Amino acid sequence: MSESDSAKLAAVAWIHEQMDRHALTLDDLVAAGCFDKVPAPAVESSRKAAPETGADVVSAKTNGAPRPLYRNALGQSWDGVGEYPDWLQRAVNAGQSIEFFRVE
């Protein structure tokens, strides 16, 4: 991993920590003008069993955008709806618990 990649990972981790500490959402940052454009996927709230754990997973919809339930160090997230995204499936296949990535 290059020094630049390490710096990016550290910056992303710091941003996530600050967002958690101050209860900020992506919508808050968009409203504050932090981004030019952010696509808003149209995904409805749903409740289903998580494939790996059998636990209930709730995908919360806030202001039209689903709130992520799982996130990795690179900032990739998943709202718990549908199949695991590739990054999460690879981690689970490698033996990592899905709960390691839970953000709520």
> Does pLDDT of 41 surpass 90?
no
The answer to whether residue 38 scores a pLDDT higher than 80 is: no
Give the pLDDT confidence of 81-95 residue by residue, as tens digits: 889 999 999 999 999
Q: Band the pLDDT of 28: cuts 50, 70, 90.
A: confident
- What is the β-pairing status of strands 56-59 and 46-49? antiparallel
Q: Tell me the whole-structure pTM to 2 decimals.
A: 0.41
| Among candidate residues 90, 35, 98, the one with its CA nearest the CA of residue 65 | 35
Find out whether 98 and 88 touch, Cβ atoms under 8 Å. Answer: yes
Going from N- to C-terminal start, the domains of the chain cover 3-101
Residue range 16-27, pLDDT digits in tens: 888 888 888 888
